[in-house]
Structures are given as C-alpha cells and as structure tokens.
Structure 1
Amino acid sequence: MTQYLITVPHDTEESPTMENMDPAEIQPILDAVDAFNEKLRAEGAWVFAGGLEPPSATTGVDNTGDTAIVTDGPFTESKEYLGGFWVIEAADLDAALAWAKEGSKACAGRVEVRPFQDVA
C-alpha cells in the first residue's frame, strides 16, 4: 500500500479559524472529523493525523551555515497555510481520493492529496 498525505490548507484572508469561530460552529466539525478518523482506523487506512497551530506559533531553524539560527516565525509569505493533515495508506490514488472526499466533507474545507515518495 502507498502512503498519502491529505492536507487541510487554510486561507489566511478568508477561512474561518478555530480562534475566530463560534464554538457552536466548531463542535459539529470536530465530531465529523472524529467520526472520519474512526472510520480510517476501522478500515486500516489510518497512519497518523494532526491539527497544527497557526503560523504565529512557528519557529524557524536554519542550520545551513556555520551556526544554527533559531528564529521566531512566522515566515509565511503566501495566503495559505497548513492547518492540519492525515497520513493514510491506500491501495492507489483513486482510493486516496475517495478518503480525501470524506475528509473534506468532515473538516468542512478543501483538502489536497499527495503521495509519499517511494524509497524502495
């Protein structure tokens, strides 16, 4: 089986965030994501998943020179940032896309799917 990354991008200008949504709006989404996660586990597709803090919680590390430089972030220059993700196992891209459709419905947002590189 191939592993796929399903990401949940957020648009910093338009998308509601956990910080600015009414808890009554968030709870159904959290419940739907929990149900989706349980389905992934039950069907053996679950590898790992997680939600991420906003870009303001970022710390940059650059150890490409003589000394490592650690800097408070964020360093996002785009309108989108990664809000969360799933790592799943699926037989092929079509199966991963089927999971992504369910994940998109559960988290009430757009998702993106990328296969991991084959390191064999």
Structure 2
Amino acid sequence: MSQYIIYFHQQWVGEHSDEWFAERGALCNAVVSDMRDAGVLVFAGGVHEDMDAAFTADASSGTPVISDGPFAPAEQYIGGLTIIDVADVDDAKRWAGRIAEACGWPQEVRRVS
C-alpha cells in the first residue's frame, strides 16, 4: 500500500454561486464516504481560507520561533487535501479523478514517502 496526497490550491476553485458550492459539497462528501467505505481514506478536509490566521513554526535557528502569517508570501495556497492509502498509482489516479469531478476543479496528486 502507498499513501498519496490529493490537494488543490484555493485559487483553482474560481468564483461560483452559493448554490453551486452546496451542490459540489454533497458530491465531494459522497466521494469521501466511498473512500471511507473502500478502506482507503486516511484524512480529508478543507483548509481555512483566512491567511491572516496562519502561523509559522521555524526551528532552523536551533530554537523554535512562532510567527504570525504564512512562512512566505505566495500567489497560491492549499485549499483542501485528502490523504489516501491505496494499492497502486492507478488507484490513486482513479480516486483523484473522482474528487476532481465532484469538486469541479483540478487536483494535484503526489505520493507520500
């Protein structure tokens, strides 16, 4: 078994109506339920959109320093993620496709090592 992270950047979502998001939420929840039933779900969740609430922990100086805000300014930031534990890359691709279809925006997939 191999773990994969399937994620999207908030900027990939685009502008949509509240009704559109409500419909997509139900579709996404159904895919997560299917992953849970299949025994491949490790974790799934959205990330809070308010970057002002982000903070950084940096111990590169030898002492942990906690700072408000993201580590570095970025044009794109993670909007949500799913971690799955599957037999092979083909399974990861299949689940990523289902998530992308349900959400209505692209997903990026990387193996967790």
Mark yes or no: TM-score above 0.5. Answer: yes
1:49 aligns with 2:30: no
Let me know the Cα RMSD of the aligned residues.
1.9
* Equivalent-residue separation in structure 1 for 2:73 and 2:62 (angstroms): 26
SS at match of 2:77: strand
* Equivalent-residue separation in structure 2 for 1:50 and 1:39 (angstroms): 15
Structure 2 counterparts to residues 1-120 of structure 1, below 5 A:
1-11=1-11, 15-16=14-15, 22-54=17-49, 55-65=51-61, 67-117=63-113
**Structure 1 residue 75, shift from structure 2 partner:** 4.0
**Structure 1 residue 69, shift from structure 2 partner:** 2.2
* Unaligned ranges ≥5, structure 1: none
* Equivalent-residue separation in structure 1 for 2:56 and 2:75 (angstroms): 19
Letter in 1 for 2:2: T
* Equivalent-residue separation in structure 1 for 2:14 and 2:17 (angstroms): 13
SS at match of 2:106: coil
Structure 1 residues 24, 82: closer, same or farther in 2, change over 3 A?
same
Letter in 2 for 1:48: F
**Structure 1 residue 64, shift from structure 2 partner:** 2.3
Identical aligned residues as a percent: 30
Output the TM-score relative to the length of structure 1.
0.82
Report how many residues are paired.
Answer: 112
